[in-house]
Structure 1
Amino acid sequence: MAVHAHPDDESSKGAATLAKYAAEGHDVLVVTLTGGERGDVLNPAVDIEGVADRMHEVRRQEMAEAARILGVRQHWLGFVDSGWPEGDPLPPLPEDSFAAVPLDEATAALVQVVRDFQPHVMITYDENGDYPHPDHIRCHEVSVAAYHAAADPDQFPDAGEAWLVSKLYYVHGAWFVRARGEALAADYAARGEKFPFAERMEMMRPLLIAPDRITTQIECGKYFQQRDDALRAHATQVDPNGPFFAIPMDLQQRVWTTEEFELAQSRVQTSIPESDLFAGIDDEEAQP
């Protein structure tokens, strides 16, 4: 089970891993906490009259297509996008927004999904939310709370029978993994070419993930094309001519073929580093 704040997050963070496990026969569920209603239209090609007014409907359609491409199931938790606060000082969050909802209310909703689906592994964001969007921070808080609460029959007893998730991971988006960016930049430098993501990486430097936080690398290069196709399905949010797609696929599949995770909580014994999210889970339990 991968828990994400908005539609498109599942395609930009760990999507090739989801596609890999789905292709291998595992039941993979993406839980999308909000509808992404307050997202801006970021692709000039689809920034046409009326799209912004139909954002809720459009983003649901985009999410359905991305899930189809990745081969996963998807569930809406039903909360409202908080939007990206701007200004100095920052304005208060909208009253109806996910980040303003009491933690217990959001946790109860996610606990019910966890107990219904009964995953062996949960994936979410670290304490920084991958980047500090208020919904991403709250996604981290809710996911960690639900990981613990789902196992406790005394918490949210009306949300179903208790279920112990074996492992909880933080997914680190590809462009936030420092070592990956450095490896790609070195390949460009060796050929005397300009690295197309250099300026963006410098801008993101405070958010880059150090190597010592990476516990688990999943070999999934053959699914990078599915990852990119799923991301393009979120057409209002992603410019296909933008920097996310500037590095040729064959170069990516040659230089860096993994996605990176951090084991945050585990109820099973495992050895670090890992190459499988199911490492340490009983073979019979981990079977597709």
Structure 2
Amino acid sequence: MGPMTRTLVAFHAHPDDEALLTSGTMAKAAAEGHRVVLVVATDGALGLAADEFRSGTGGSNDVTRRTALADVRLEEARASADALGVARVEWLGYADSGHEGPIPADPPGQVRFCRAPLEEAAERLAAILRTERADVLLTYDAQGGYGHRDHVRVHEVGARAAEIAATPRVLEATVPRDTIARAVRWVGRFYHYPDEFDPSVFERSYTARADITHRVNVRRQAGAKRASMQAHASQASSDGGDRTLAAFLRIPRPLYDIVFGREWFRDPTMSGAGRAGIHRDIFEGLP
């Protein structure tokens, strides 16, 4: 009798978030024969992108441009999922809340994710978790990584949905802050980061190394991870200046494989295992 097949659901705030934090783990699980499902909370319509990705066919007003970008970004999520071996992609139906300033007014027929009632959003996700009989749910840490309000909401909604659906394990996708801060500084010696990128953010973001419980080696999935990033072409585009994703994609493969060859998670029910006892299999110990 072979190993048990599991179901992994990765819950992300926007299309392209999966590429950066969990795509290697998703590709690894899929390659091992597990079922992998990607759920995005929002359409990513407030993301930055070059005008070519906002053109639309129904006019040039702001609503049409946002709708056009939303369609592009959701399609990019599907292309990313194909590169990773994902079996199903779902959008919860919420609108992007934006990162800075007041939350914009709700677009026609939609609700900004941060305005959605917690129980309502959690029930939408829980319905997928129940249908899929998910064994593991990937979400974000309590501060949403670098603090984006939609990412914080993913943490809140994911935790509640797992309670409702009785999902056995929740893993918060994160990065040990000292490791990422050091890597960002090192890469910055060779690459000029775009103006939008603030390296100091990583000094105060994500999770302390002592609280990390899982570290997954995804070096063999580096090609799939890079393809996942490449699928989000709109988020590497700009009408002026450079974009962070574009900078990442210019890193040569040998260095890229080192920089992006591991992914980290925190199980809130476990104590931080520390370097010696850290877990390497996200399905280990499940009933």
Task: Give the TM bin, normalised by the shorter chain.
Answer: 0.7 to 0.9
Per-residue deviation, 1:38: 2.3
1:9-66 Cα offsets, whole Å, 9 max, x none, are 111111111001101110001111111122221x57x457446551122112211111
In 1: Cα distance, 2:104 partner to 2:55 partner: 27
Other structure's SS at 1:10 match: helix
- Rounded to whole Å, the distance in 1 between the matches of 2:269 and 2:262 is 21
Q: Which residue of 2 aligns with 1:160?
A: none
Query: Aligned partners of 2:192 and 2:31: how far apart in 1?
Result: 30
Deviations 1:116-173 (A, max 9, x none): 011111110011111222211111100001111212xxxxxxxxxxxxx221111015
Match of 2:203 among 189, 192, 205: 205
The answer to which of 235-244 and 102-111 deviates more is 235-244
Distance 1:245 1:14 in 2: 16
Q: Distance in 1 between matches of 2:95 and 2:54?
A: 23
Deviant stretches of 4+, over 6 Å: none
Which of 134, 139, 142 is equivalent to 1:119? 134
Q: Write the letter of the residue equivalent to 2:221.
A: Y
Letter in 2 for 1:194: R
Asked if structure 2 preserves the Cα contact closer than 8 Å seen for 1:85 and 1:93, the reply is no
Instruction: In structure 2, give the amino acid aligned to 1:109.
Output: R
Query: Structure 1 residue 140 and structure 2 residue 167: aligned?
Result: no
Secondary structure at 1:112 match in 2: helix
Secondary structure at the aligned position of 2:14 is classed as coil
How many residue pairs are counted as aligned between the two chains?
Answer: 252
Shift in CA distance, 252/184, structure 1 to aligned 2, threshold 3 Å: farther
In the alignment, which residue of structure 2 is the partner of 1:250? 254
Aligned to 1:168, the other structure's residue is in SS state strand
Give the distance between the partners of 2:94 and 2:230, measured in 1 at CA.
24
Equivalent-residue separation in structure 1 for 2:43 and 2:260 (angstroms): 32
Q: Is the 8 A contact 1:93 1:100 kept in 2?
A: no
Counterpart among 275, 280, 283 of residue 285 in structure 2? 280
Instruction: Answer whether contact 1:125 1:171 (CA < 8 A) is retained.
Output: yes
Instruction: Note the 1:52-131 alignment, pairs <5 A.
Output: 52=66, 54-72=68-86, 73-86=88-101, 91-95=102-106, 96-131=111-146
Contact 1:94 1:100 in 2 (8 A): no
Normalization by structure 1: what TM-score?
A: 0.78
How far apart, CA to CA, are the structure 2 residues paired with 1:79 and 1:256? 29
Q: For the structure 1 residues 200 and 68, does the alpha-carbon distance in structure 2 shift closer, same or farther, using more than 3 Å as the test?
A: same
- Please report how far the alpha carbon of residue 215 of structure 1 lies from its aligned counterpart in structure 2 after TM superposition: 1.3
Unaligned stretches of 5+ residues in structure 1: 152-164, 283-288
Change (3 A) 1:246 1:126: same
**TM norm structure 2:** 0.78
- 5+ unaligned residues in a row in structure 2: which ranges? 1-8, 57-64, 238-242, 271-275
